[in-house]
């Protein structure tokens, strides 16, 4: 059975969203980030909803890690 691309997007994001909620990682940015990430992968031809959800989670976690890193000043050791 063929699933529409909008349904694939919705289901993939929902899987990722529920997982992030249950792990306590979901915040205000999560829904939009997941949607954008899954949409890009669908446009590139990916159609496996579990793959889409898992990659969106991985990319979201990486995004949040980078967001929480405080850059070190270059002259901090001087």
Cβ-proximal residues to 8 (8 Å cutoff; 6+ apart), any chain = 42, 47, 49, 52
Report d(CA 32, CA 63) in Å as an integer.
Answer: 13
* pLDDT tens per residue, range 26-72: 998 899 999 999 999 999 999 999 999 999 999 999 999 888 776 66
Interaxial angle between packed helices 30-43 and 5-22, expressed in degrees from 0 to 180 and rounded to the nearest 10: 140
Residue 49 counted as domain residue: yes
Residue 47 counted as domain residue: yes
Residue 60 counted as domain residue: yes
- Can you give the residue range of the structural domain that contains 62? 5-67
The pTM of this model reads 0.84
Tally of CB atoms within 10 A around 48: 12
Spatial contact of 42 and 6, defined as CB atoms under 8 Å apart: no
């Amino acid at each position: 059975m063929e699933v529409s691309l909008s349904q694939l997007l919705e289901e993939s994001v929902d899987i990722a969203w529920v997982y992030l909620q249950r792990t306590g990682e979901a915040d205000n940015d999560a829904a939009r980030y997941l949607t954008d990430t899954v949409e890009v992968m669908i446009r590139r031809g990916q159609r496996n909803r579990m793959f889409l959800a898992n990659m969106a989670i991985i990319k979201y976690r990486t995004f949040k890690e980078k967001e929480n890193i405080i850059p070190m000043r270059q002259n901090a050791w001087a």
